[in-house]
Amino acid sequence: MSEKNIYQRMAAITADLQTVAKNLSVETGRGKSYKAVSERDIIDAVKPLEIKHGVYSYPAERHVLESQILESENEYQGNVTKKTTFYERIKTVYRFCNIDNPAEYIETTTFAEGIDSQDKGSGKAMTYADKYALMKAYKISTGDDPDQTASTDDRYTPVSVICADCGSVVEPVTKRDGTAWKVNDMARFSQKKYGRCLCATCMKAAEKKIANDNALAAAAVEAMHGDAGDRI
């Protein structure tokens, strides 16, 4: 086994994997449900084969890209009920290591969202990300929606947006032209430019870091050219 590289080991695991049974029952409401593959189904199928072929997999990095508190309203027979839920969007870098040569590994990146009426939004997002990293790496097909909680027709309104860097609630600010920069617009802008939702203060810090990194890179290039000129 020690002579096999990480690609050969993962290919062997893929070849040994059988069809993963759909043991998770997902309720869709109104007495309807469907079967899906749970994280436990995937881990139970993959773990013994990773042990057999000498591969260890784990989430090497996690980054919160977006965090919001959402509110929805439902009306029934004239009565309106409000529900507050917690939403998380994360990025996970999942690593597959050759246990006989830990310096040799493959990484795959997954993005996942989790929503929950209490504080399990981040946990759901992590479960989803890890499950799909294994599924895609080992080419495990399920064919159905993977979520443990079925999607609903609720219409959510953001109550607050959380900064991914400092953890504070993103507040609207006034732009230089005197107009208001709304929270949702700030979230979209920072997500597109920096890859995560940021408050105004953290956007300034991120912009400063980019400028510093660019200056260091330019100085390094200039120094390299100077050294080359001295040698000529």
Domain residue ranges in the chain: 1-162, 166-232
Of 22-36, 73-87, 106-120, 199-213, the least confident = 22-36
Does residue 188 contact residue 211 with C-beta atoms inside 8 Å? no
Spatial distance between the Cα atoms of 98 and 157, rounded to a whole number of angstroms: 46
Mean pLDDT of the chain, nearest integer: 81
Does residue 42 contact residue 131 with C-beta atoms inside 8 Å? yes
- pTM for the model stands at 0.58
pLDDT of res. 182: 84
Mean pLDDT throughout 154-182?
78
Helices (H), 6-65: 6-16, 39-53
Produce one character per residue of 130-142: b if its CB has 16 or more CB atoms within 10 Å, e if not. bbbbbbebbebeb
Residue 155 structure tokens: 């219409």
Q: Band of the pLDDT at 227, cuts 50, 70, 90?
A: low
134: CB partners within 8 A, 6+ apart: 42, 43, 46, 57, 94, 140
pLDDT of res. 146: 46
pLDDT above 90: percentage of residues in the chain: 31
Greater pLDDT, 97 or 74: 97
CATH 3.30.450 assigned to 1-162: no
Residue type, 132: Y
Mean pLDDT throughout 205-231?
81
- Given CA atoms 63, 68, 69, 73 in this order, what sign does their dihedral have? negative
Spatial distance between the Cα atoms of 25 and 35, rounded to a whole number of angstroms: 5
> What 8-state DSSP symbol labels residue 203?
H
Of 46-50, 54-58, 101-105, 109-113, the least confident = 109-113
pLDDT 10s digits, 92-150: 999 999 999 999 999 999 999 888 776 677 888 899 899 999 999 998 876 554 454 45
Spatial distance between the Cα atoms of 124 and 89, rounded to a whole number of angstroms: 10
